[in-house]
Amino acid sequence: MTRIRILVVDDSVVIRKLLADTLSADPALDVVGVASDGKIALAKIVLLKPDLITLDIEMPVMDGLQTLVEVRKLYPKLLVIMFSTLTERGAAATLDALSLGASDYATKPSNTGSTAIALERIRLELVPKIKALCGLAALKLLPLPRVCPPLKVRIRSNARIEIVAIGTSTGGPNALAEVLPRIPDNFPVPIVVVQHMPPIFTRLLAERLASRSAIAVEEGSADVILTRGHAWIAPGNFHMKVTRMGLQCRLSLNQGPQENSCRPAVDVLFRSVAAAYGANVLGVVMTGMGSDGVLGAQDIRDAGGDVIIQDEASSVVWGMPGLVHASGLDDAAFPLDHLADEITRRVSQSRAPHLPVQPKTYAASEPFPK
């Protein structure tokens, strides 16, 4: 098996060693070099021809964002994972990097007090992302015990859509920046979103999306009443659920156990909207690594709602939508640049008045059809 060639770029000797030791310990990965700043990194890319680079944001001589711009000019297909601090400044720079073409990001372990813990955090977060981006993460179908019999014919409800629920992960910030700003300001239903991101990141993402969108976008908070033409993004480290109270639906937040190694989890949100809205749900699963969203998609479909996904060609990683498709739980797949229009079309069409068919009347001299 050909190992994935990695160049580690970071101005910290400690971080370079942590990354190199952790990544090289995996038999599928090979750290072929390190660099302490962007200028050195650009010179080494030519010599080492890595498949992927990990790129620190704050460095002397040439920082991560400057380096990323040059990398994208010279090597548009080279995979780049930003390695940033879990701070407001680090989160803002990471979102800038994603908009400039970074493939994904990972957060530096901080205040662990233990090298072993730091190594484990890197291994659990960074290694799967590298493998997924490089196509080594195979689709693994989850058991769906509630589907019985397996080949039953689904009766579609064609119900009036009252809420749109979106789940996404790797590649999601840019995907959401493509979709939400294209939703019209008169959108007649609320939108709820899970994007796998840590605290601070989700708030800044919501603020950036709000500045570009016709609809209101904000980070979700407890007890908010859902209203039309408004999108809420689950806050990092909190599951977000929709609960019905009479005629109103509200958001609730909790820090229950992770699902699919995630908090927030798409499955938690999808399960809750299916319970609160029944068949009146449109679920959307977009680019992302892992299996989160598969069981939730089944909940939406079992309740009579519909689920659409982002197609493979436009996804950064076709893990989440790919598993929904492989499980037979999607109604259709669309390229990223068609998703906003398709969401709007489906919602509008489902809510259009259906005029009753008027019986034809016949004149006395007109023969009645047999």
From residue 70, give the alpha-carbon distance in Å to each of 39, 101, 114, 211, 277.
10, 11, 35, 27, 48
CA pair distance 265, 272, nearest whole angstrom: 11
Residues annotated as part of the active site: 169, 196, 292
CA pair distance 96, 75, nearest whole angstrom: 19
| Three-point CA angle 318, 307, 201, nearest 5° | 55
Strand pairing of 239-245 and 306-310? Answer: unpaired
Calculate Rg over the CA atoms of the chain: 23
| Three-point CA angle 330, 158, 163, nearest 5° | 75
Task: Write down how long the chain is.
Answer: 370
CA pair distance 170, 237, nearest whole angstrom: 16
Reading the block at residue 220, the tokens are 């979700």
